[in-house]
Amino acid sequence: MNIEQIHRVYFIGIGGIGMSALARYFAFINKKVAGYDKTESPLTQELASTGIDIHYSDDLNIVPTEYKNTKNTLVVYTPAVPPSHSEYQYFLNNGFVIKKRSEVLGLITKDSFCFAVAGTHGKTTTSSILAHLLKETGVEMTAFLGGISEDFNSNFLLEGTDYSVVEADEFDRSFMQLTPNVACVTSMDADHLDIYGDAQELERTFVDFTKRLKPGGKLFVRKGLPLEGLTYGIEDDSDYCIRNIKIEHGTYIFDLETPDFKIERVEFNKPGRHNLLNGLVAFAMAMQSGSPPDRLAEALATFKGVQRRFSYKIKTDDFIFIDDYAHHPTEINAVYDAVSEMHPNKKVLAIFQPHLFSRTRDFADDFAKSLSQFENILLLDIYPAREEPIQGVDSEWLLKKITSSGKKLISKEQIISEINNQNPEVLVTMGAGDIGLEVVKIKKVLSYAD
């Protein structure tokens, strides 16, 4: 497939964070773009405001006629779309070029100097830091991000095509479509067992991904992972290492050591040791572009963050409201550690929306252990996303496993009243479902609207 020959691109599932970035890319290079999504969202509204035709019913009659012409039309779909979807079936069975999002991303980036960020946690933050560092040091690139960067106010950046920054997503083995020059693996915790079956198969696939580097490519691996590459870590014998960490006015101050030099008193503003690691490997990767290390270190200090990644929605002397995408036990642990480090001895209330019945079932005991660290935890119903319910797997079942003294199952309609009743000093919302849509409501009701 030659992208130059494409005139129109139709997306099935255009509202996904990765799909919407691709839609922006094709619109930016002057292709006609349209698409379907199940529900309207801020992302689809923003795409529509740029002139992209979007509809929300699985109905071939409202697909624009010009996109039903097989000549010069590319159809892109997300694996989250069920095979029974009528639009998907139409394009699949009528001679269209139809590709997964990951295949298209691989085609777009294969001729660029590609930076790929892999791992079961940390991909979006790391790739956003990396894109920020490259931009700040004058490297012109295309970046496809899995979240809304607060530095760019977008999940997409196009300033040049010689370099690219992408998330190497393990879901559905999507990262096997990429051929990076520089890659990292941040973590390999068991996840997506509905795809892989077991943790060993997931690990084997990560190993296979690392073999997809172009000749002479470099791999950065978090210390302790069973992979061969340049290592990074905190206060250990890694190739790239952070030492002497201090916290001054809510900012990390540390020394950064590489195999060749040391930079003292580097600043970084995102809470959590996991974010320090993300910043460190982004720095190490960005060095491969030839950017001056001292400028990269300065740029670390100005990184603003990613929406829904330990995002401060309210931050006053009396009340803190943090929102995070955490939807895996390891991520919940990281949020808890960051809250404890940055806001010690505060009364914390956590609200969690489980994501996927299969993930809740597969990691129920781990979820219970991580959530039980919060003395006060409110649990919402499971967000199903692409799944049908699994008998016996629900939030009430998970709640029984949690040992917190202040635990409760609530509906979304009860969120505000529960917050008011408990009067916490620190409020944390977590989850990958539609809990993010509740954040604006919570902030507004608490009289801190933008």
CB 362 within 8 A of CB 193: yes
Name the pTM for this structure: 0.85
Does 123 show up as a binding residue in the annotation? yes
Does 119 show up as a binding residue in the annotation? yes
Does 122 show up as a binding residue in the annotation? yes
Q: CA 74, 78, 84, 86: dihedral to nearest 10 degrees?
A: -40
Instruction: Render 216-271 in DSSP notation, one character per residue.
Output: T-EEEEETTSSS-SEEEEESSS-SEEEEEEEEETTEEEEEEE-SS-EEEEEEE-S-
Does 73 show up as a binding residue in the annotation? no
Binning pLDDT at 50, 70 and 90, where does residue 437 land? Answer: confident
Mean pLDDT of the region 25-54: 94
Distance between CA atoms of residues 389 and 383, nearest Å: 10
| Lowest-pLDDT choice from 131-145, 196-210, 374-388 | 196-210
CB 212 within 8 A of CB 205: no
**pLDDT for the residue numbered 450:** 41
Return the structure tokens found at 353: 């929306």
Strand pairing class (32-36; 8-12): parallel
**pLDDT for the residue numbered 190:** 65
What is the spatial order of strands in the sheet that 73-77 belongs to? 53-55, 32-36, 8-12, 73-77, 97-100
Residue 170 has pLDDT above 90, yes or no: no
Query: What digits encode the pLDDT tens for the residues 377-432?
Result: 999 999 998 789 999 999 999 999 999 999 999 999 999 999 999 999 999 999 99
Query: What digits encode the pLDDT tens for the residues 57-76?
Result: 999 999 999 999 888 999 99
Mean pLDDT of the region 10-18: 94
Domains of the chain: 3-100 (3.40.50.720), 110-301 (3.40.1190.10), 311-445 (3.90.190.20)
Does 121 show up as a binding residue in the annotation? yes
